[in-house]
Structure 1
Amino acid sequence: MDATTKLTAGGNGVLGCWLIAAPFVLGTPAIGRWNDVIVGTAVVLVTGYNYARAVRQRPESVTGAGIVAVLGLWLVVAPFALGFGGLALWNDVVSGTVVASFGSYNAYIAGSATPLRATAQ
């Protein structure tokens, strides 16, 4: 695992923890609070799984990194879909953008490191 991949995986882990705590710090409405806690927990779990695989010299899960990227995109859209605003909106948009960017990078790196399988013909 190279330094950039460690940084992006660790960054997503920290952002996932922030997403779990942020609704209580920022006074987010109930629907936004549950959304942030659930998405933050999922980001922490999937990022932790990928980080643990990389530390054990196993290839990262492309699917896991892709799920994190999709969760980041959901965070960008969620405030508009769920109808909350203010500081909670900007927290989700900025956090979601970073999570999606880091997750996309990790999916790209994991995909390029995975050897292609030969198909039987």
Structure 2
Amino acid sequence: MDPTTKLTVAGNGVLGCWLIAAPFVLGTPAVGRWNDVIVGAAVILVAGYNYARAVRRRPVSATGAGLIAVLGLWLVVAPFALGLEGVALWNDVVSGTLMASFGSYNAYVAGTTPAFRATAQ
């Protein structure tokens, strides 16, 4: 697997860890705290799975990468839906944007990998 894919998968893992820690560091209200912890835990699990696949030179899971992209988009919208303000709002928007970008890239790579296409046909 190419180094960019490993970097983006690892980046999502780091963002997931940050999402779990950030609400406690930033003093986010309860609803935003639980949202960040749940999304962060899901991202860590999926990113860990995709990283293990990338290290073994297997294509990353397109479904998992797509799920991370959707969770990233949710993080961009969630602070407005949940009424967050200030640093907590911008933390979720920036983290969600990065997460959606990395997840989208990984989903694209998984869909264009020759081994993946041969299996799908």
TM-score bin (small chain): over 0.9
Deviation at 1:35, TM superposition (A): 0.2
Kept in 1: contact 2:5–2:54 (CA 8 A):
no
Tell me the distance in 1 between the aligned counterparts of 2:60 and 2:22: 28
Q: 2:51 maps to what in 1?
A: 51
> 1 or 2, which has the higher helix percentage?
2
Aligned letter for 1:99?
M
Q: Displacement of 1:57 after TM fit? A: 2.5
Partner of 1:34: 34
Amino acid at match of 1:115: R
Structure 2 unaligned residues grouped into runs of 5+: none
Q: Which runs of 5+ in 1 are unaligned?
A: none
Asked whether 1:11 is paired with 2:15, we answer no
Equivalent pair of 2:12/2:43 in contact (CA under 8 Å)? yes
Question: 1:59 & 1:104 partners in 2: Cα distance?
Answer: 14
The structure with more radius of gyration: 1
Mapped to 2, the partners of 1:105 and 1:59 lie a distance apart of 13
Question: Over aligned residues, Cα RMSD in angstroms?
Answer: 0.9
Could you tell me which amino acid in structure 2 is paired with residue 94 of structure 1?
Answer: V
Q: Specify the SS of the correspondent of 1:115.
A: helix
Runs of 4+ in 1 over 2 A off after TM superposition: none
Trace 1:99-114 onto structure 2 (pairs within 5 A).
99-113=99-113, 114=116
Q: Partner amino acid for 1:67?
A: L
Corresponding pairs, count = 118
Identity score, percent: 79
